[in-house]
Structures are given as structure tokens and as C-alpha cells.
Structure 1
Amino acid sequence: MKISLRASVTLIALAGGAHIAEAQTGSAADPSANQTAAGASASNEQEGDIVVTGIRQSLARAAEIKRQSTAVVDSIVAEDIGKLPDLTTASALQRVPGVQVVVGGNNEIVGARIRGLDDIITTLNGREIFTGVGRGFSFQDLPAEALAGVDVYKSNSAERLEGGVAGGVNMRLRRALDFKELTIAGSARATYLQEAGSKNTLNPAVSLLVANRWDAGEGEIAAMASVSYQRNKYARPVAWNDWTRATSAGPAGSPPDLHAPTGFAAAIEFGKYERPQANFSLEWAPDTDTKIYVEGLFAGYRGNVYQARPTFRAFTGTSFEATVGDTCEDFAVGPDGYYSGNVRSPTNPTGTGTIRQLCNATGYTARNLEYYTATVANKARTDIYVIATGFNKQIGALSWNTDISYETSTNRNDSFRVDIGKRIAELVQVRDNNHEVQATMPGNPMNDPAGLAFANGMTEDINRSRGTLWSVMSDAKYDFDAGLLDYVQAGVRVARRKAGFEQYLGGPPAPGGSFVTPLTAAGLPSDILSQAPGVPQMNDGASFLQIDPRYLTQEAIKRQLRTLYGISPDTPAYDPTRDYDAQEKSYAGFLQAGYEFSLSDAISVDGMVGARLTRTDRDIAGSGRVTDPATGTSRVVLVNRSTSDTDLLPNASARIQFGGGLQARFNYSKTLSRPSFGQLNPGLSYVVSYVSTIQNSGSGGNPDLRPQKADSFDASLEYYFGRSNYVSVVGFYRDITDRIINGTEVRTIDGLQYVISTPRNLGSAKIKGVEVGGQLFFDFLPEGLDGAGVIGNFTVIDSEVTTPGDRLQGLPLLGVSKYNYNVGLIYEKYGISARMIYTYRSKYFDGDITNGLSLRPVSLPVGLNGIRAAGRLDFGLNYDVTPNITVSLAGTNITGQKTRNFESREDFVREVRNDDTTYSLGVRFNF
């Protein structure tokens, strides 16, 4: 389709900026409000028609948003109704320069880190949105079909909501007045997941949108409704080494001076999940200067997820033989063969640990060892509802926006676990096979029901969380006709957030002890066992027996098992030491001024200066268990804490336009991220392990946590040329204080040792880097080849913990990859719209500090969980059968890339996760 330059201006205004429904997100905050010609060059000097279809149209709009925004913004724009360039929101985000993602347990791309940091404020049409009681939002819970676009803010300004040290992500739904006439659009897609294979049907995803507008006598009324549904059946195999231990703690006759994993484990997560979604928009424009709206959203998640987790305790065998590697180092070893933080020395003569030189075991064979399979059945449900109303009013040079919104987000999880096992004759394990874990059990005894007995304990995890948010936002902006001052903008926001969480987690040991009560003596149904899908790294993918997880979702079977394990058959009550309730009131006001002036006929400068003042009042109540040292008895004590924070967040920006499409940008902003309610929970809870090789553990919050803050600086040089081409270079620097991380420490409670995980303020950290990105379409090539183009971006990040004396000082921030990039090929012509993109992320350290049992060389100051570098290749192919109907084919991770973990150093192989490959076939229509 071809349209004139003037028509494209109108189209982009309607699609992105004509409806600024969100208060406090006027033109300075909503980049799409500033769009001009989607496919235009860097100036209006480009003559002729502009092709604005498919992927190129999407990229052209995104480039124009980036160019016109006063903030540092990268955007993703849906190329058609119900069609972001990727199948999911999180998948689309990974294409943005500097955004890093991970693969979740159900093989979806999840999470998002902006320049390595996950402290992100997520908004929907400018309003804060969250999942459950958290601060963040699970992007995968909002299907891509629902979105018109996504904007990733890497710098902040006063009118944007506070709450993201890393930046912010604004997801944009379509509005009713975006459509000039009756519109009916929809899509249907079927996806094949390779790991799930032929055992499951194709997974459907459908969407439908209907919109229209009418003459109301006084202005126009428009209505839009959109629904979508997707279902996925999947399988995710994982294999890993257990914690590293000195072999001197192994069976009699074990090699004395080696280190090896205490065992091998695997897991297969499988099941299905569904995501229903609906949203609507009603708008009334009584005149050209007024819009009144009501809009709402429902997003849901329904999951029935099963796990089979076979575990092999190599050190419980009667013999242990190991293959000696060629790397020998000093380790701090305790009497139990695990890591010791209490090494004997002249300054610590009572220490129980010693420094010993140990060599690596590249593989081992354990005989007559304990094995068990844990079967877990989990049922989860999430429901998010958002309703909002407000108006936009233009009175001459004054614009006034007001928005009132309410969100409720509930999350429910019910998980039931039972372990069965026995002794098996032999385990042969190879520790490092192409940086993977491999193990075989000759004869596959896990698939033989003979001798199976109940092992370890039965565990239930039942939790409920609910979060609500009332918010009122109002802002006004006055535009000046001429002079240095371009506009003045001011606004306020008042919000009230409530969060409640309750949980039971625990259960009794196996009846009579581990491996004592035979499975056949339990009186369970005769078909209680079923075949679990195999794991490629275990017995070459052979299946094995597990408790049929479908039975573990039935209340009658649960009652029977509780009785067998010697507890009440009724569903256990919530544990008060795990519950908390929080109330938070936040107040914010901002003042901001825009300016512009010319330095010459070709060079102009514009920007803004502002500040946002925020105050947060918070009350949180939790429980802890206190032990009386005299009697040894414990009791639950309610703990209440109240805190208040007041912060001033200034910002300033300048954009210099040199003419000819060349511009530079400079931004400064102070940002903050508030701790989550779970992190602030003053209670402490812990669990006794019934497995000798697994330590007792617990977790607690820290009500004294301070908000993380950062001084953020960005500078860019950007060049826009041709019809939709650009190249940009961005340098950034973040000076972070009070960074929050999870740490672990060993505590003694009632005579038992527990490794307690608790959050703390890290102190200071710095992060800096460079982003290079661009896109180029080869319009100058001969007919046929002129539909090709390339896109790409590359980010290098240097991060460092700078807190003096901290054990992490000098190390990179957790979760930050030094390098990540995207490179892609695009072709669009003759009704074909295609792209292929490779996304790469270098290694990084993630998760909690592994300050527990696992051995590590003394040369490593801390133990960290690492993720090896990896890349994924995805493609998408669309063909316009008619101007109104498009068929599509897409594939993700088509090279079969896996996620591989390590402990602190890459030669300490820890885990391999088999990431799935998917193929989708779909059709879209728009009438």
C-alpha cells in the first residue's frame, strides 16, 4: 500500500498520539504523540510516496518515535492490528538495544532487564501495572495480540511515574478513536513445540477485535473490544550436578583428594497453561478539544504444571570411583566435606575447616546408591483487572488530563509433592561433556516398579496473594507561542496500594522413615504410577516412573496421602510466619518546563528541565518465630513496621538538531526503585530438610531496606536518513546507591543450622556502557532486491560493585551480561514480509550468592551461579494473500540453543536446560 506524506502523518497521529488518555503522560512522555511521518526521512525534504506496510512500517514508526522523543526511548510498534513483530511481549522486548531476557521454566521468554537491571516500572497506557503483590509485571501474561506497541524508556523525566532505576516499559493498548469506521480484525495461530513433540496437539492462539465510531449529535462516540486466548502444552527437560563436595566424605574407599558433585539430578516440567485476555475502550469526543473515556483490561493465566525430578545421591553408595582431572587447587573444606567459612588459622585457632588441595573429578561411578523421584503437581491461577476513566481537555494553549484507575491482581498456587525411590545398582556420571551434564543408570531401574518406597517428606505449597491499587493522576500543560520557553507542565498523583500474602509450605517426613514404607502398602489406586517424559542428559532420554501427577490434584488422594504420612487429612492452614499484609500510600507532584531555541538556520536546541517530588508512607505486618532459650519452646510474634520516604527526583535533557537528520541528545535523571513487599516482610520462615544432602533453609525480609537510587546520564548521537533508516550511538552511566540483592547466611535455630536467604542493601555500584544500533533498507538496489534490509544493535556494559569492604566489591552486578546484540535480515516486497534475527547474550552471574555448602576454590571470594553465553535464531514470514488477509509462519530458537549454568567458573559445570524450538502457522484478517 502507498500513501502520501500528509496521509501518513494523519495515520501515525491516529495510531499513536491523538489519544493521550493517560494522565501525566502528555507529549513529553508519550513518544507516539510526537510522531510525524512514519516512513519519512530525517526531514520533510524527502519527496514522493512512502511505502508503509508490514515490518518496514513497524520499524519506521519505531524509528520516528525514537527520533522525536525528549527521552532516550526505543519502541516496538505492531505492524498490524493484533500483530507485534514477535509472538510474545517479552520476546519482542529482547530485540530492543540493551534489553536482556531469560528463558523461563515453561520455555517462554520471560522477564526483562534494561541494561542489565531488572528494577523496571511497568505501565499500561501510562498507568502502573503489576502482578500479584510484586512491583513488577509478568510480561508474558499480556499476549502480544493485545498491544499496539511497547516503549522502553532508558531515561526518566518528571511526568513519568517513579519506580524504575533501570527505566520503564510502557505497553500501549489500542483505543476506540484510533478507528475511523467499522473494523473487524483477528488472528488464529497454531504452534508446534518440539520438546512436547507428537505427544501433544498443536497449541492454539486466537484473537478478535471489533471497533466502530458513530455520530452522537454532539461529537463522536467510539467503541472497541478485543479478546484473545492462547493455550500451550509444553515440556522442559533439565539436568544438573548436585553441590560440589570433597570425596573424602564419600563411601569408604573413595578417593581422598578429589572434589565431585554429591550426585546427579534431572527434571522434566510439563503440562499446559492458558492465557485469556480481554480489553475494551469507550471514547466520546463531544468536540474537537475534548475526549472522555472509559477503558478496561482483563488478563489471566491458568496453569496445570507437573514435574518429575529424579535425584541420585552418589555419596550414599557403598562404593565411589572417580576419574581424576588435571586441575588441582586449594579449597576451604569443612569436616563434612563441604565449603567451610570457618577455616583454622593462627588468627582463628578454633576453626573447624582446613585448606586442602583437591583435584577435579571429571566423572565417577557410584554403586548401590539411593535414588528418588519427586512428583510435583502445581495448579496456578492469575487474574488481573484494570478499569480506568478520565478526560483530555484542550482550552486554547492549555491542555488538561485527568485519569482515575483501579487495578486488582490475584495469584493462587497449589503445589503437592510426593517422593518415591529405592536403591539402584549403579550410576555413571560424566561431569563435563561439552559443558553439559550426562549420566546413565544401566538397565534403567527407575522404570521398574519393584522395590519402590516412599522417600523423604511430603510437601505442600499453598499460597495466595492479592494486590490492589487506586490511583488518581492529573496534569496540565501550557504551550507558549514563541520565545525560549516552549511549555510549562505540572501534575499530581495520589495512589494507595494494598498487598496481602499468605502461605503454607512444609510437610511431614516419609512414613516410618525414608525408603521404609513400600508404595504397594499405601492402598493407592493400582495405576498410581505413570511414565514421565525423559530427559536427554539422563539415560539418553529414556522415560521413567513417577507418581501420576494428575492424582496429586485430586483432593481425595491428597487426603489419603496426608493420613498415610501421619497428619490431618484436611488441607493445612496457612502458616502465620509466612503471611504479611502491607498498605502503602504514595504522593507525587511534578513541575517541568520545555525550552527551544535556534543557534543558526540549521542548528536548533530543545529539551526540558523538571523535578518530581515523591513521598511514600508504608505499614507492613508480618510474623516471626521466637525461641525462648530457657525452655526451648517457640512462639509466633506479630511484627509491625511503619516507614516513610521522601525523595526529590530532578531531570534535565537537551536535544541538538544539526539538520540533515543528524542530532545529539543529552539526558540526566535521578531515579528510584522501591523494595518489594516480600523483601520488606519483617517475618522469618524456615523449613527442615528431610534429605541429608540438602541443607535446612529459610527466608526472611528486611523492613529496613531503603529504596534503590541512581543518578543516570545518557548521551547519544543519531543520524536519520532515507525513508526509514537510522544509526545511533548511545553512551550511558548509572551511579547506583542502596542496590538490593539477596544474600545468604548460616543461622542456628533450635539447635539446627539453616541457610537463611534475606535481602540487603548492597551499598554502591556503577554501570556504564555503549549501545550502537540502526536499520538500513536497500532502496537503491535493483527491482526485487530493493525490498531487503538489515537491522542490528550491539550493547557493551561494564558494571562493578563499588561498596568498600563488601565481599562482592570489584565484581560485576548480578544479572548483567557484558555483551548482547541483535542482528537481522528483512525482506518486504510483492506481499512478502520476512525477517530472521539472531539474539546473543554473553555470560553473566545471576540469582543468590551460593554461600552454602558447595565447595569453591579459595581463589574465588564468593560463590556465584553463572549462565554461559548463548544465542537464539528466530524467523518470521508473512504473505498477504489479499489486502485484508495475511498468512504467517514463524520459528523460535531454530538452532536448538540450550541454557547452561556453572558455579562461579565455567569449568564447574552445574546445569543444562533444554530450551525449546517452536514453529507457528497462522492467519490474520483485517476488514
Structure 2
Amino acid sequence: MLNRCASAALLTMAGHIVGMPPASAQAADAPEVAPPAPAAADSASEQEIVVTGIRQSLQAAADIKRTAVNVVDSIVAEDIGKLPDLTTASALQRIPGVQVVVGGNNEIVGARIRGLEDIISTLNGREIFTGVGRGFSFQDLPAEALAGVDVYKSNSADRIEGGVGGGVNLRLRRALDFKELTLSGSGRVTYLQEAGSDNTFNPAVSGLVANRWNTGIGDIAAMVGISYQRNEYARPVAWNDWTRSTNVAPGRTSPNLHSPTGFAAGVEHGHYERPQGNFSLEWAPDKTSKIYLEGLYAGFRGNVYQARPTFRAFTGTSFVAEAGDTCEDFAVGPDGYFSSNVRSESNPRGTGTIQRLCNATGYTARNIEYYTASVANKAKTDIFVIATGFNKQYGALSWNTDISYESSTNRNDSFRVDIGKRIPELIQVRDDNHVVKATMPGNPMNDPAGLAFTNGMTEDINRSKGTMWAVMSDLRYDFGGFIDYIQAGVRVARRKAGFEQYLGGPPAPGGSFVTPLATAGLPSNILVEAPGVPQMNDGAGYLQIDPEYLMQEDIKRQLRTLYRISPDRPAFDPTRDYDAQEKNYAGFVQARYAFALTDGIEVDGLVGARLTRTDRTIAGAGRVTDPATGTFTVVAVNRSTSDTDILPNASARVNFGGGLQSRLNYSKTLSRPSFSQLNPGLSYVVSYVNTIQNSGSGGNPDLRPQKADSFDASLEYYFGRSNYVSAVAFYRDITDRVVTGTEVRTIDGLQYVISTPRNLGSATIKGLELSGQIFFDFLPEGLDGLGALGNFTIVDSEVTTPDDRLQGLSLLGVSKYNYNIGLIYEKYGISARVIYTYRSRYFDGDITNGLSLRPVSLPVGLNGIRAAGRLDFGVNYDLTPDITLSFAGTNITGQRTINFETRPDFPREVRNDDTTYSLGVRFSF
């Protein structure tokens, strides 16, 4: 915690954060003496607010919410540092209406605003992205680097377009926020429970130095901040293979049931590092001018390993299942999997039939095939942002200009080899909670005898790079009457994106289970014991090829030779590559009005529009096969498109006095498709595992931007020193929403499931956000440091496109309910909070064309995620006026992520989310 007695420079900086608008689209900052820009806390107080603890930081966030014309929720200054959150993404889950998920390395990722992932990410008001994507991986920016985060849920003309769901603006600290020499920093060690005792100490450090000089040519300030974190981690996962009719199981000893075809598990483990640095140079020649230069570097380095054992229950000599009491009709193909081609009067040539099948509550399979996939992936991301500009005021006229450049590069090198053998027995049962679990008596997977190469060797090598130049400039004239001011501006941006990939590999030498591992001539210590999975043999270890060997080029060359291909590193596949260029031109005009409706009621708001045009060229490639020879050639595929849109907005805030106010907002927003979605090429791979379909993917250059008419209405009451309650109703009418669907195509005589994005048509999303915070100052001494905060969001979404297979269903990825509830205590040098975050179940993917059976009563197969909640805490203690100790924990109840197929009694997957504890120290002088 920044201590109450810490340097006035750092505290004044926090005050500026509160008064400073979240950077508008047209100016990364505003002159100190200029009125705040309208996109943020529009009438934010010019008075400095000293942020000294949790309560004051929450009060500062409430002030931004209260004074903004738009619907904005914020996390301010040290509020991020005090939460038990290591990254920006994990901090965002505290915002009302923001939903998140847990990623593969046990970090919080995938922030959605009111269930929508189509959000625009900005850094100090400038668009920021990762690789060739539209969005930014928030987890890649450590929380220590930030002064604040603003989540925009309604839009105005001066903000960069690109987010149907809203926008997130990340605010870095700036040099002129400091009044004198300031030194601050932090250190932390984190224990990740799943990583094990050998990886107890995971470090994170940060530091900041800033100074300000009053010279004969004005004030000059400089600031540099750095941070670094490193984590060892492990993420165990267990899942059922596709559901299948037991009428095709070995021996047909348990007919007329539906059962998983097997069991699989896996552990993603390894380590990652995140170096980060940012700087700010500012010169204020006088009180009406400021010139600045600022930059950011954010990096990611990761060695990611996976061990994935798979057990194919239908490949054995016997399969005996226990029958449950739930029986339903299923559409079954000749192979026992789902069929979309059922024989009927209208389809007499159909190959599928309707079968009455009961559920299998467990099974025992004997003498089955088993294999473990060993995967090693080296990942690297580098993001550079640099910007310069000025703010100038000429009386009532303000002029802001910003020039920025970003380069974002992402690299991944992945290498996979499978080994396996037959094992005597697999026993699987479902517990009362339908959780996936299996036992292999004697743990034969930990015995090297009989191991051979199976399936195919796979390499995935990809590179992506995105760059963007952008110039923003706006003028604002203050009238001070009914028309408070008029603002107009332009933005020109040029974006380039390039992606190249090799994905593929040969089958096992001689075929699966033919070539013994022992005869391959690999190092004698090539096998290591992989971390166990709790749902498999109660967490016992098992053997895999050492993934660290798979990082070595000499081992890769040896394996390529063994698999009878060239030992050289494969070249990129031109059918997977694309290059894109996009130019965006935008202009806006908007006016702020303000008037007194009565002696006690005041009204203000914004009316404006943004005109935007995007010209895009994207070049990919496809394959054309000669039917006579079976050979194919690669042909270039190029497409050019243009979009022009007008995005109006209007808002009104009514201040009734006494802390009661209301606001009404309308805006039209859009989200552009990603470059990978627009890629005109098509690529596909042949699977060497008969339970995994041949698959491919292709883009759709004819995709249209998603658009939404967005309406928000709120009623808010602010009382006491830092208390409030708020209710916000929202409605989104979305057109041309983009979803990824699958279809079966026959290519060169083989069937492939091809994933292709498409415009869904129309959908609606509506809901209500309730939030508030209160501090119990009326309690007796000692207890008067208590406070409480909470928010609750209900979202109702529906696909409204007629005749679409998803019509009437909720939008994918949208939970109906989510909430945060927490307690706070701050007194006697102690500041503490405990927060519980909950998200109700949702569907995150369409598996309609997958192999897995589903009842005919369910027209669409979906991948669902069960409801889950996480309990986090943080405690800080002021050891001295300048030094604070901290202790924090996340997911201390050990909540797991559990997936299901369409409905909860069809269990699919269980992911063991990590529990972490961290101990740290902060200082500020």
C-alpha cells in the first residue's frame, strides 16, 4: 500500500488519475489546465484527491463513475495493487458485468463485457493489440504497471470504434503526475499449489523512479517503470472422449447404451516470464502547453509442456458397462457416433438410425490401446508502443494531437510425439457430481516396457506480426453556455498483419504401435515421469517423452529422420499464410450541453457522430487439386473490401441533487472481423487417430462488421464519504454477429470437418447491473474500519435470426448471472479485503458436427461450462510509514472448471484450477 505519509509526489499522481479523463480517442492526455475531455469523467473535480488506501481508491473509482456522462466503471491507482491480482485480466473480474475464464496456465483470461468478447482495448487512449488479433491479452500487462483501468459500457463519438461489447482503457502512469523525486517498488513471491513444492518461490518485482524539474523553460518531468515476473505452473485436466453407442463396442456385451469411447487426461506445465517496462517524458513550457514522449514494452516468454494420456476403450477385447435409468432416442450412424443423415421417408438413403439408448454409469474395458502425447511449445511475444504528441490551449480553444506506433510479434514452436501400448484394464465410473474419473490397475503407464510410437508426429510452427501507425488530432472550443463545448477530430490509422504457419507431420514409422521406442536410438533418459492428474489413478505419475528434449533441434532432427521425412526444419505452408493491410479513416463531431431544468435539477450530456471508413486488402492461398493426377497446386487468393459507417451517439445525465442521479445513453457501435477470420485461404490436416476427425479451417473474406444499437439507463445514489448504490439497465440489438461454425466437406475423397466463420444475423442481449459499496463509519471504534462492496449482473441473450440452428438459444460465451461480493477492513495500518466472484453456467462452443452422440430432443450440440466461483483475499500492513507488507491468496476454496456436453449430466471435462498464495513488500520514498 502507498503509505499515508509517502511522498506527496506519488499521492498527487493518484489524485491526477481521478481527475484525469480516461484518454479519449483523439488525445492521449489533456493539458493540466484544460477541462476534462468528455469521454471520461466529464465533470471530474479539479481538486486533488489523495489516494492512501483501499477506501480512498474505491472512492476515487466511484467519483469517476458518478461524474462520467457515459456508463464507466473503473479501478483506480493502488486499488489494483492491493487486490490479490497479479495481472490486469484478473483485476478486471471485479468490475460489474465483466466475465472472465481461467486459461491453460491457470491465469485469468478472456475478459467479456456483459458477456460480449468484442471489445476495443486502448492504452492511454490508443488502440493496442496482441499479434495479428483485434484484442489485447490483458494478462500480458502486469497490474503493477498501471495507474488505472476504465471499462466503457457505452460509447461516444471521440472514442475509437471497434467494440460492440464496450471498451477497456489501460492507463499508465505519467511523468507530470509526480511533483518531486519519487522512488517506489515492490517484490513478491507466489506459491502455486498445482506446481508442487519444488517450484514454491515464483518471483515478481517492480520499480519506478520519477522526478520533476522546474526550469527556465518550464516544467520537465521523467518517469521510468519496470516489472518482471516468473511462474512455474501446472494445470491438470481430465476428460471423457466422445459419446458413442455401445452397440459397436467390442463383444456387444452391454448393448443399447451410450457411453464415452474412452478417457483422457493431461497436464499443461512449464514456466513463463513477463518482462515489462514503460517510460514517460513530459515538458510543460507554460500552463497552456504540454509536449510528451512515452513508450511501453511488454513481453512474454514461455516454455509450455503437455503430457496427454488417452485411453481408447472401444479398441479392446471386451467392454462391459453398467446401465443407468435414463433412456432416450439418439441419432446414430453406422460407426456408433452422431449422425446428421438419419434414414427417413424424406431421406430414404440416410445411413443413420434412431436408437433408444440408456446412459452408462460406468464401464470396464480390457486390453485397450493407450498413448501419451508429449508436447513442447516455446512461445514468445514482444509488444512495443511509442507515442508522441502535444496538448495546447488558446483561450477557449484546445488542440490535442497524438502520433503512435505499435509493433506486436508472436512466435510459437510446438513439437509433438505420441508413444503408447496396450494396457490390461481401464475402469471408469461417474460420481454423484458427474465428474470424470478413471483407474488403470497397476498403473502400467509408468512402466516403459512395450512402449512404441503411435499416431503421428506433429509440428506447429507459426509467426505473426502486427504493426500500426496512427495519428489522432482534435479541436475543442468551450462556450460555457447551454452548449458547453463542441469537439471535432480525425484519426488515420494504417494496420499491417502477417501470419505464417506450418502445421502437420507424418504418421508413426511403420504404423501405430509398430516401432518400439527402445529401438529408436534416442537418449537413454528420454523418458520422464509426468505430473499426475487427480482424476486419473488418484494422481499417480506416468511416463512421457521428456518435453525438454523436444525443445532441442538435434533431437527434432533425429525424430524427423525416424519418421522418414527430411530432418530439416519444415518450411511454412503457403496455404496457411496470409498478409493483410488495413487503412482506417475516421472523423467525429460532438457537442456537450448542460442546463438547469429546475433550481435543483441539472442536465448534461453529449450528442455526436463518428464517420469511419475502412479499406482492406488480404492475401491468402488455397489448394487446387487435379482430379486426374491427385496432385495439387497452391494458388494465391486476394480480396479487397471497404466498409463505411456512421456511428451516432446521444446521452443525458440528470442530477436530481442530494447524490441522486440518472443517465440515459444511446450509441451505435461496431466490431470488425479479425484478420484470421477474413483470410480467404483454406487449410486442412489428416488425422492419424480414428477417433479424431480430419479437420481444417478457412476464413471468410465476405464477413461484415458486427454492429449494435446500444441503450443504457441508470439510477444511482451517492451518499456519505464514499458510498453508493447503482442500477444500470442495458439492451443491445446486434446484427451480423460473427460465429464460427463447422461443416463437413469432401476433399480428395476424404471427409473433413471445416471450421468457417459466418455472420450469424441478429441477436439481442439485455440485462441489469446492480452495484454498490458502503463503509460502516457508525460502528464503534475498531469496527468502524469495516466496509462492504458487491455487484450483481443478470444477462438475457438470444439469437433471433430465423431458421438458424441456434435460434432461440443464448449467445455463446454469455453467463446469465455473475456477481462479486466482498468485505473490506482498513484501520490501524491494516487494509484487507476478501472477495467472492461467481459466474453461472454458459456455453462456449458449438459442437453440432462433432462425433459425440446427443439426444434427438437436443437439436444443437453445445459445449457447456458449469457454474463456478472463486474466493480471493488480500491483507496489507504498514510496517513503517514507507514500507508495507502484503499477503494474498486466490481461489483458496480450490474451485474447478467443469465442462459438459449440452446438459450437465453429460460430463465432458474437469480442469483443476490452481490455488495461489503470495507474500510481498512494497515501498515508496
**TM-score (structure 2 length as normaliser):** 0.97
- Give the 3-state SS of the residue equivalent to 2:774 in structure 1: strand
**CA 1:217/1:32 → structure 2, altered by over 3 Å: closer, same or farther?**
farther
In the other structure, the counterpart of 1:173 is 172
Find the aligned partners of 1:921 and 1:540 in 2 and give their Cα distance.
31
**Alpha-carbon distance, 1:82 to partner:** 5.8
- Give the 3-state SS of the residue equivalent to 1:520 in structure 2: helix
**Alpha-carbon distance, 1:181 to partner:** 0.2
**CA 1:730/1:592 → structure 2, altered by over 3 Å: closer, same or farther?**
same
Alignment pair present for 1:746 and 2:755: no
In the other structure, the counterpart of 1:691 is 689
| TM-superposition CA deviations, 1:303-345 (whole Å, max 9, x none) | 0010000000000011000010111000000011011001111
Alignment pair present for 1:796 and 2:785: no
Q: How does 1:221-370 map to 2 (within 5 A)?
A: 221-370=220-369
The amino acid across from 1:24 in the alignment is Q
- Give the 3-state SS of the residue equivalent to 1:252 in structure 2: helix
The amino acid across from 1:499 in the alignment is A
**CA 1:861/1:793 → structure 2, altered by over 3 Å: closer, same or farther?**
same
Which one of the candidate residues 28, 33, 40 is aligned to 1:31?
40
In the other structure, the counterpart of 1:44 is none
- Give the 3-state SS of the residue equivalent to 2:91 in structure 1: helix
Find the aligned partners of 2:815 and 2:707 in 1 and give their Cα distance.
21
Find the aligned partners of 1:38 and 1:104 in 2 and give their Cα distance.
41
**CA 1:300/1:848 → structure 2, altered by over 3 Å: closer, same or farther?**
farther
Check whether the contact 1:339–1:853 (CA below 8 A) recurs between aligned residues: yes
**CA 1:83/1:207 → structure 2, altered by over 3 Å: closer, same or farther?**
farther
In the other structure, the counterpart of 1:429 is 428
- Give the 3-state SS of the residue equivalent to 2:194 in structure 1: coil
| TM-superposition CA deviations, 1:75-106 (whole Å, max 9, x none) | 01122796566321111100111000000000
Q: How does 1:460-479 map to 2 (within 5 A)?
A: 460-479=459-478
Which one of the candidate residues 717, 720, 741 is aligned to 1:719?
717
Check whether the contact 2:13–2:177 (CA below 8 A) recurs between aligned residues: no
Which one of the candidate residues 507, 515, 518 is aligned to 2:516?
518
- Give the 3-state SS of the residue equivalent to 1:65 in structure 2: helix
Find the aligned partners of 2:904 and 2:362 in 1 and give their Cα distance.
16
Find the aligned partners of 1:156 and 1:2 in 2 and give their Cα distance.
36
Find the aligned partners of 1:451 and 1:265 in 2 and give their Cα distance.
20
Check whether the contact 2:651–2:665 (CA below 8 A) recurs between aligned residues: yes
In the other structure, the counterpart of 2:53 is 54
In the other structure, the counterpart of 2:899 is 901
**Alpha-carbon distance, 1:790 to partner:** 0.3
Check whether the contact 2:13–2:178 (CA below 8 A) recurs between aligned residues: no
In the other structure, the counterpart of 1:116 is 115
| TM-superposition CA deviations, 1:148-169 (whole Å, max 9, x none) | 0000000000000000000000
Find the aligned partners of 1:628 and 1:62 in 2 and give their Cα distance.
64
In the other structure, the counterpart of 2:599 is 601
In the other structure, the counterpart of 1:810 is 808
**Alpha-carbon distance, 1:434 to partner:** 1.9
Which one of the candidate residues 795, 804, 825 is aligned to 1:827?
825
Check whether the contact 1:82–1:186 (CA below 8 A) recurs between aligned residues: no
| TM-superposition CA deviations, 1:209-244 (whole Å, max 9, x none) | 000011221111000000000000000000000001
Find the aligned partners of 1:10 and 1:507 in 2 and give their Cα distance.
59
In the other structure, the counterpart of 2:505 is 507
Check whether the contact 2:25–2:158 (CA below 8 A) recurs between aligned residues: no
Q: How does 1:353-432 map to 2 (within 5 A)?
A: 353-432=352-431
- Give the 3-state SS of the residue equivalent to 2:382 in structure 1: strand
**Alpha-carbon distance, 1:599 to partner:** 1.1
Check whether the contact 1:269–1:308 (CA below 8 A) recurs between aligned residues: yes
Q: How does 1:725-804 map to 2 (within 5 A)?
A: 725-804=723-802
Q: Which moved more, 1:852-861 or 1:76-85?
A: 76-85
| TM-superposition CA deviations, 1:640-690 (whole Å, max 9, x none) | 000000000000000000000000000000000000000000011111000
In the other structure, the counterpart of 2:16 is 14
In the other structure, the counterpart of 2:33 is none
Q: Which moved more, 1:830-839 or 1:71-80?
A: 71-80
**Alpha-carbon distance, 1:844 to partner:** 0.1
Check whether the contact 1:114–1:167 (CA below 8 A) recurs between aligned residues: yes
The percent of aligned pairs where both chains have the same amino acid is 81
**Alpha-carbon distance, 1:633 to partner:** 2.6
Find the aligned partners of 1:508 and 1:904 in 2 and give their Cα distance.
35
- Give the 3-state SS of the residue equivalent to 1:881 in structure 2: strand
Find the aligned partners of 1:789 and 1:811 in 2 and give their Cα distance.
40
Find the aligned partners of 2:163 and 2:38 in 1 and give their Cα distance.
15
- Give the 3-state SS of the residue equivalent to 1:140 in structure 2: helix
- Structure 2 residues not aligned, in runs of 5+: 31-35
Which one of the candidate residues 487, 504, 523 is aligned to 1:489?
487
**Alpha-carbon distance, 1:206 to partner:** 0.1
- Give the 3-state SS of the residue equivalent to 2:528 in structure 1: strand
The amino acid across from 2:864 in the alignment is G
**CA 1:371/1:362 → structure 2, altered by over 3 Å: closer, same or farther?**
same
Find the aligned partners of 1:469 and 1:455 in 2 and give their Cα distance.
45
Find the aligned partners of 1:833 and 1:153 in 2 and give their Cα distance.
28
Check whether the contact 1:21–1:392 (CA below 8 A) recurs between aligned residues: no
Find the aligned partners of 1:408 and 1:389 in 2 and give their Cα distance.
15
Check whether the contact 1:302–1:382 (CA below 8 A) recurs between aligned residues: yes
Work out the number of aligned pairs and report it. Answer: 914
| TM-superposition CA deviations, 1:431-455 (whole Å, max 9, x none) | 4552310100000000000000001
**Alpha-carbon distance, 1:58 to partner:** 1.2
The amino acid across from 2:69 in the alignment is T
**Alpha-carbon distance, 1:15 to partner:** 3.0
The amino acid across from 2:85 in the alignment is D
Q: How does 1:574-613 map to 2 (within 5 A)?
A: 574-613=572-611
Check whether the contact 2:151–2:167 (CA below 8 A) recurs between aligned residues: yes
**TM-score (structure 1 length as normaliser):** 0.97
Check whether the contact 1:84–1:148 (CA below 8 A) recurs between aligned residues: no
RMSD value, Cα: 1.7
Find the aligned partners of 1:436 and 1:36 in 2 and give their Cα distance.
54
In the other structure, the counterpart of 1:43 is none
Alignment pair present for 1:65 and 2:64: yes
The amino acid across from 1:371 in the alignment is Y
Check whether the contact 1:153–1:167 (CA below 8 A) recurs between aligned residues: yes
In the other structure, the counterpart of 1:911 is 909
Find the aligned partners of 2:491 and 2:405 in 1 and give their Cα distance.
13
Check whether the contact 2:847–2:861 (CA below 8 A) recurs between aligned residues: yes
Which one of the candidate residues 641, 644, 661 is aligned to 1:643?
641
Find the aligned partners of 1:329 and 1:38 in 2 and give their Cα distance.
68
Alignment pair present for 1:662 and 2:660: yes
Find the aligned partners of 1:416 and 1:631 in 2 and give their Cα distance.
32
- Give the 3-state SS of the residue equivalent to 1:31 in structure 2: coil
Find the aligned partners of 2:294 and 2:15 in 1 and give their Cα distance.
20
**Alpha-carbon distance, 1:892 to partner:** 0.1
**Alpha-carbon distance, 1:463 to partner:** 0.2
- Structure 1 residues not aligned, in runs of 5+: 41-50
**CA 1:94/1:610 → structure 2, altered by over 3 Å: closer, same or farther?**
same
Find the aligned partners of 1:888 and 1:672 in 2 and give their Cα distance.
42
Check whether the contact 1:238–1:535 (CA below 8 A) recurs between aligned residues: yes
Find the aligned partners of 2:82 and 2:496 in 1 and give their Cα distance.
34
- Give the 3-state SS of the residue equivalent to 1:618 in structure 2: strand
Check whether the contact 1:825–1:835 (CA below 8 A) recurs between aligned residues: yes
**CA 1:38/1:578 → structure 2, altered by over 3 Å: closer, same or farther?**
farther
The amino acid across from 1:775 in the alignment is Q
**CA 1:38/1:875 → structure 2, altered by over 3 Å: closer, same or farther?**
farther
The amino acid across from 1:255 in the alignment is S
